[in-house]
């Protein structure tokens, strides 16, 4: 039986992170079915994710967003994150937040690279949560990162 995975993304973002995530997921497994739901902005993502879970039957959802660099945008990202948190607690399902802040990258080219790379690496986390939780347990405390380099475990 296939497991439904929701992919919620936005027209506000400046990179098509969803396609990168979907490609990675389909490379890793054929046991899932992707359901995509595009909304205007980040703050529309939480209810979109909840609908993917409760109305579409998704077992897990990725929420892909790209906050701008202004203070206002950071407040929006915070509100969206709180909504994603609440949506998870109301459904007992994971929603993997994949947010890339515009000011994390030095130029548009790096932004595109970072956004896709982070989406792919979080797609891998979705796979592990669904099919291989032991992999995550083995990497507990290892300082893994999504997008830029892993920082690694603290040297003792």
**Footprint of its own copies on residues 91-130 (CB under 8 A)?**
92-97, 101, 108-109, 111-113, 115, 122, 125, 129
CA distances from 147 to 11, 30, 43, 46, 109 (A): 21, 24, 23, 23, 14
Torsion of CA 18, 56, 83, 151, to 10 degrees: -40
The residue with tokens 């507990």 is 140
Contact between 22 and its own copies per CB under 8 A: no
Interface with its own copies (CB under 8 A), residue from 33, 82, 132, 148? 82
Length of the chain: 156
- The secondary structure element, H or E, covering residue 42 is none
Comparison of 15 and 32: residue with beta carbon closer to its own copies:
15
* Least distance between its own copies and beta carbon 47 (Å): 4
Per-residue mark of binding to its own copies, 34-63 (x: CB under 8 A): --xxxxx--xx-xxx-xx--xx--------
Distance of closest approach, residue 77 Cβ to its own copies, in angstroms: 8
């Amino acid at each position: 039986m296939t497991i439904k995975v929701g992919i919620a993304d936005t027209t506000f973002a400046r990179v098509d992170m969803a396609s990168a995530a979907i490609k990675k997921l389909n490379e890793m497994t054929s046991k899932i079915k992707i359901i995509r739901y595009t909304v205007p902005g980040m703050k529309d993502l939480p209810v979109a994710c909840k609908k993917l879970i409760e109305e579409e039957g998704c077992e897990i959802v990725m929420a892909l967003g790209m906050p701008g660099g202004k203070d206002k945008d950071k407040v929006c990202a915070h509100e969206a994150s709180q909504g994603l948190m609440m949506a998870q607690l109301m459904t007992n399902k994971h929603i993997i937040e994949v947010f890339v802040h515009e000011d994390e990258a030095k130029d548009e080219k790096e932004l595109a690279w970072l956004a896709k790379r982070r989406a792919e690496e979080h797609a891998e986390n979705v796979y592990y949560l669904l099919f291989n939780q032991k992999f995550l347990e083995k990497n507990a405390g290892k300082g893994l990162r999504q997008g830029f380099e892993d920082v690694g475990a603290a040297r003792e």
